[in-house]
Amino acid sequence: MGLWDKIKGELIDIIQWLDPTQDTMVYRFERYNNEIKYGAKLVVREGQAAAFVEEGKLADVFSPGTYTLETANMPILATLKGWKYGFESPFKSEVYFVSTRQFTDLKWGTKNPIMRRDAEFGPLRLRAFGTYSIRVADPGVFLKEIVGTGGRFATEDIIGQLRNLIVARFADILGESNIPVLDLAANYDELGRFIINRIGAEFQSYGLEITTMLVENISLPPAVEEALDKRTSMGVVGDLGKYMQYQAAEAMRDAANAPGGTAGAGIGMGMGFAMAQQMGQAMAPGGSAASGPPPLPTQGAAFFAGIRNQQAGPFDRGALQQKVQAGEITRDTLVWTQGMTNWTPAGQVAALQDLFGAMPPPLPPQ
């Protein structure tokens, strides 16, 4: 081997890209005046593609492997250049390395609430967020449509556009799904697949492929969530009447333990019982206690009677009948009821005369 051949071999270019970042999608290989020696070595690693751009036109795209940049390996670029210098002189061309690995954990979310009509709760405002993953499926299309002439292109340069696209399609899918709000959590996977199917073609127009779409949460406004929590608590409690009695008993216990001694305990007990009675009546259907029906109404007017020189009663007709049969009330027994001005013997009250119908009047004096 001659001296020139040795020097020539040592000057052979090596074109490669070792990516120290996690978000770079495209890197332009820097070479002085973009001059690349004919016969240079091109190293394309797994997860990469190398694209040659000549005078603004995309020429060759290389998949993973090691290449010697000669006519046999660069048919398109060789045709463009013509190699009028016998394939030995340096040629000017831009080399772009494109990362074809997956870019994961990219965030998406709604900036503003999504209006939706729910069959159970009516109009609602929903917010949603999640993550997605993408990769460059067609390096040539990606360079033409998105990258342009920049020396470095990262995920941050495109995720804004992708996020807006995802949110717009998600809002449309959510409105068309007619899934009840309370059932959305059980359909996150299905919604993710619907989004991929809906926006897959739009991503392809950028040379991208969306590989994963995750819906992590769909939330309601805080006021609606609070109302749902209260509704859930009511379902867990079950019998509200018993629960209110329990609450009143707890309040009574706390009042008894509070400073104030016996007086405080008495007040606490009174308040506790009053609260339990009022709340129990309020929670029962019709505003009455749920433990049983009210007492039957009194049959007829109730009378007071003077028995053994003492006022007794009031007695309804059933009680008066028993008193008459027992001899405790006679025709001469004084009685009174509402509407009478004075006490009157029972035998002279028209409403009570039938109680004495089977009994003879007293014997006349001798």
State the 10-residue block means of pLDDT for the chain, 366 residues long.
Answer: 45 79 90 72 93 82 88 62 52 86 93 86 89 94 82 90 92 86 89 92 93 92 79 66 71 70 52 57 51 54 80 80 81 81 80 70 67
pLDDT of residue 17: 92
DSSP 331: T
Residue 335 shares a structural domain with residue 352: yes
pLDDT of residue 11: 44
pLDDT of residue 6: 43
Give residue for tokens 């019709």. Answer: 286
- Boundary (domain end) residue, out of 195, 223, 251: 223
- How far apart CA 332 and CA 330 sit, in angstroms, is 5
**Count of structural domains, the chain:** 4
* Number of neighbouring beta carbons within 10 Å of residue 350: 6
Residue 57 Cα distances to 32, 42, 67, 148, 350, angstroms: 20, 20, 21, 11, 122
Q: Tell me, yes or no, whether 365 lies in a domain.
A: no
Start-end of H helices in 178-316: 188-204, 222-237, 240-257, 261-283
Residue 155 shares a structural domain with residue 178: yes
Q: Tell me, yes or no, whether 315 lies in a domain.
A: yes
Residue 65 shares a structural domain with residue 148: no
pLDDT of residue 289: 44
Rounded to two decimals, the pTM is: 0.58
Count helices and strands (H / E) in the chain.
9, 18
CA dihedral 335, 337, 343, 349 (to 10 degrees): -60
CB 28 within 8 A of CB 52: no
Residue 82 Cα distances to 12, 71, 74, angstroms: 21, 10, 11
- Boundary (domain end) residue, out of 223, 248, 274: 223
Which two tokens mark 94?
């831009």
CB 271 within 8 A of CB 278: no
- How far apart CA 44 and CA 66 sit, in angstroms, is 6
pLDDT of residue 96: 92
Which two tokens mark 58?
């995309």
Q: Tell me, yes or no, whether 143 lies in a domain.
A: yes
Residue 282 shares a structural domain with residue 308: no
User: 274, exposed or middle or buried, with CB in 10 Å at 0-12, 13-18, 19+?
Assistant: exposed
Residue 343 shares a structural domain with residue 244: no
Residue 117 shares a structural domain with residue 170: yes
pLDDT of residue 197: 92
- How far apart CA 294 and CA 250 sit, in angstroms, is 28
- How far apart CA 106 and CA 23 sit, in angstroms, is 10
Residue 118 shares a structural domain with residue 163: yes
Q: Tell me, yes or no, whether 206 lies in a domain.
A: yes
107 contact partners, CB below 8 Å, separation of at least 6 = 129, 130, 131, 159, 163
Task: Quote the domain boundaries for residue 121.
Answer: 103-223
pLDDT of residue 305: 82
pLDDT of residue 109: 93
pLDDT of residue 304: 84
Which two tokens mark 279?
């709340």
